[in-house]
Structure 1
Amino acid sequence: MKKENRIKKNKEFQDVFQKGKSVANRQFIVYTLKKPDQKHFRIGLSVSKKIGNAVTRNQIKRYVRQVFHEIDGQIHNDFDYVIIARKQASQIGYHELKKNLQHVLKIAKAFKNRST
């Protein structure tokens, strides 16, 4: 994931939390905020220490980044996405995580015309 595609600053996270919309399932909470002047989507990841040790948290973040890498052309580019992982996300493998993340993104209407 390129640096310009990441949300890193606290103020940017807070903007998405306060002005954006949220949807959730058992594994993830996704906040979305439309940014009309943006050329490419950006993602911010939040994985709490309650979920597990550093290895587990980093693995979840890698998986989420990989899913966004794979669905790059299918989601709207003019949005910021903040993904918060829940405890159940640490207990599933990559393919199940991908399916659940795509499900919550579909609920958030993040995909362009066709759904995955």
Structure 2
Amino acid sequence: MRKSYRIKKNTEFQEVFKHGKSFANRQFVVYVLEKENRKHFRIGLSVSKKLGNAVKRNQIKRYIRQVFLELKEDIPPGYDYIIIARKPAAEMNYHEVKKSLIHVLKIAHVLKKS
């Protein structure tokens, strides 16, 4: 995933936290903030040290990025997303992560097709 699709700066994270809406299930919390005149969506990831060592945290982040890459056509442009992984996400494989993220994105009403 290219850098233009990522949220990195703390100020941008804080803006999404303050002004965005949050949606959650057991494994993930997703904050969504609509941004006007943006050609694509951006994602920011937050995986706590409580979830495991660096290898496990990076694995979770790779899974989340891959899910968003696969759902690229179904996710509308012009939104910022922050995904916070919760404890149960550490024991999940890729397909479970994908299913869980699709579930929470449907709750947020941001997927174009079901």
Residues 1:27 and 2:32 aligned together: no
Residue 106 of structure 1 deviates from its aligned partner by 0.7
**C-alpha distance in 1 between matches for 2:92 and 2:34:** 30
**C-alpha distance in 1 between matches for 2:42 and 2:2:** 9
Match of 2:108?
A: 108
Residues 1:65 and 2:65 aligned together: yes
**C-alpha distance in 1 between matches for 2:32 and 2:76:** 11
Match of 1:99?
A: 99
Moved over 2 A (4+): none
Q: Which runs of 5+ in 1 are unaligned?
A: none
3-state SS of the aligned residue for 1:81?
A: strand
Taking structure 2 as the reference length, what is the TM-score of the superposition? 0.98
For residue 96 of structure 1, what is the amino acid of its counterpart?
A: E
Residue 7 of structure 1 deviates from its aligned partner by 0.0
**C-alpha distance in 1 between matches for 2:109 and 2:43:** 15
Taking structure 1 as the reference length, what is the TM-score of the superposition? 0.97
Match of 1:40?
A: 40
Deviation per residue, 1:40-88 (Å, 9 max, x gap):
0000000000110000000000000000000000011110000000000
**C-alpha distance in 2 between matches for 1:94 and 1:71:** 14
* Identity in percent: 66
3-state SS of the aligned residue for 2:73?
A: helix
For residue 74 of structure 2, what is the amino acid of its counterpart?
A: Q
**C-alpha distance in 2 between matches for 1:94 and 1:3:** 22
**C-alpha distance in 1 between matches for 2:36 and 2:73:** 17
Q: Which runs of 5+ in 2 are unaligned?
A: none
Match of 2:90?
A: 90
Match of 1:80?
A: 80
RMSD over aligned Cα, in angstroms? 0.5
Deviation per residue, 1:7-35 (Å, 9 max, x gap):
00000000000000000000000000000
